Homo-oligomer: A and B are copies of this chain.
Amino acid sequence: MKPTHMRHSEDCRAVSEILSRVGDKWTVLVVDYLGQGSMRFTELKRAVGGISQKMLTTTLRGLERDGFVTRTVFPTIPPRVDYELTDLGRELLAPVQALGAWARTNISRVNAARERFDKEQQ
């Protein structure tokens, strides 16, 4: 049996890894859009807005690697590429959206705290 703080650290690394994945701005947007159903690369690019082709490719590849998204290529001309949340990705939606809702509700309190803090440092 490992000492408590060791287990705590390991748990924390796991949590931290997941958070650093879902905490990425583009990742949150992409997961959120895919929550509505499967989308083609070009649809996603248009929907997300302001994301480069390269960044969207990188974001989707990271999500695919982590098992949150599947990528399906249809051999049409030109080839059609669909992205869809896996079961794991769909399960992730709920806690991410809960934290997202908390952030949206409380961002003004965080911003107010920052302004207060910065003013006191002057």
| A residues whose Cβ falls under 8 Å from a Cβ of B | 5, 8-9, 11-20, 22-25, 28-29, 32, 47-50, 64-68, 88, 91-92, 95-96, 98-104, 106-107, 109-110, 112-114, 116-118
Contact = CB atoms under 8 A, between A and B. Distances in A.
Contacts of A107: 14, 17-18
Contacts of A50: 9
Contact of A67 (B91, B95, B109): B109
Work out how many copies of this chain go into the complex: 2
19 contacts: A5-B47, A5-B48, A11-B100, A11-B104, A12-B28, A14-B103, A14-B104, A14-B107, A15-B28, A16-B23, A16-B25, A18-B110, A19-B19, A19-B23, A65-B117, A66-B110, A67-B117, A92-B106, A96-B99
